[in-house]
Amino acid sequence: MINYMIMFTLPSGLIFELPVVVYVLSRIGLVTPAGMRKYRRHAIVATLIIAGVLTPPDAVTQFLVGIPLLILYEVSIFISARVAKQLAKKEKEESLT
């Protein structure tokens, strides 16, 4: 019973860290919103594969894991865009001084 709970809670917890990871990678400069938008289709396929691996062979459970992951990916694009805008503003201010 505990093993079953860990099997679902741990991956779900890791999935919800996606926006935080994207924020850090955007601050470093490894992830850009344009790159995330460009590879959106790849992310959808990867999301469905990840959801299929993490869940039992049930389509409903796969979608219950996959849809929040896709929503978090879209939120991560928004976060990356805000970080890029902040970095551009900071760069512009530094170039003026």
> Mean pLDDT in each 10-residue stretch from start to end of the chain (97 residues)?
73 83 93 94 90 78 84 94 93 84
Q: Is residue 70 part of a domain?
A: yes
For residue 20, being part of any structural domain is answered with: no
Residue 15 covered by a domain: no
Q: Is residue 11 part of a domain?
A: no
How many CB atoms within 10 Å of residue 61? 15
| Integer CA distances (angstroms), 25 to 1, 11, 61, 69, in order | 36, 20, 30, 18
Is the Cα dihedral 24, 22, 56, 8 positive or negative?
positive
27 occurs within a structural domain: no
**Planar angle of CA 79, 82, 88, nearest 5 degrees:** 140
How many domains does the chain divide into?
Answer: 1
- Alpha carbon 14 to its chain centroid, in Å, reads 10
pTM of the entire structure?
Answer: 0.81
Q: Which domain holds residue 41?
A: 34-97
Locate 97 and state its tokens: 């001084």
Structure-block tokens of residue 67: 């849809």
